[in-house]
Amino acid sequence: MERLKIGKAGNKTVYVDEKGRNHKLTGGETVSMNMWGFTPALFEQLGGEFKKFLKEKGGEEKSEFLIPRVVDDLVRRKLAKVEVLTTSDQWFGITYPEDKAAVRLNMEKLEKKGLYPRKLC
């Protein structure tokens, strides 16, 4: 299940569920940084779900078709399977323009260690 409201509550990291309740996170949870590999079979299922999404929420300016939520629903209905691959590598995300400098700095550190090609920094 995708969690959208993750943050600090005092010295704890929590997520807020759909009912507004805080749930403590340990830091050991498996997370997806939206790196997916799909077989062609999923795209037909996504297409049908996207049509439903557009009908129900397509006119809402801030609505989002969240692929992880759709996949979670398909798995729960036994219409799809997901294999989770884990890594110990660190992830650097760019969501906002101000994230770019920190990501670039981290990529350059990896490049200096020989772990990342310079042409992508």
Structural domain includes residue 62: yes
Structural domain includes residue 118: yes
Regarding whether 79 and 100 lie in a shared domain, the answer is no
Regarding whether 45 and 77 lie in a shared domain, the answer is yes
- Please, which pLDDT band fits residue 102 given cuts at 50, 70 and 90? very high
Q: Quick one: pLDDT at residue 120?
A: 66
Phi-psi region of 14 (alpha: psi -120 to 50; beta: other; left: phi over 0): beta
List the one residue out of 107, 36, 30, 93 whose CA is nearest residue 66. 36
Q: Quick one: pLDDT at residue 121?
A: 53
pLDDT beyond 80 at 91: no
pLDDT, mean of residues 19-31? 87
Q: Is this model's pTM higher than 0.85 or not?
A: no
- Please, which pLDDT band fits residue 14 given cuts at 50, 70 and 90? very high
pLDDT beyond 80 at 32: no
Give the total number of structural domains in the chain: 3
Residue 22 belongs to domain spanning: 1-29
Q: What mean pLDDT is reported for the chain?
A: 87
pLDDT, mean of residues 57-77? 91
Rounded to whole angstroms, the Cα distance separating 121 from 110 reads 9
pLDDT, mean of residues 71-83? 92
Structural domain includes residue 34: no
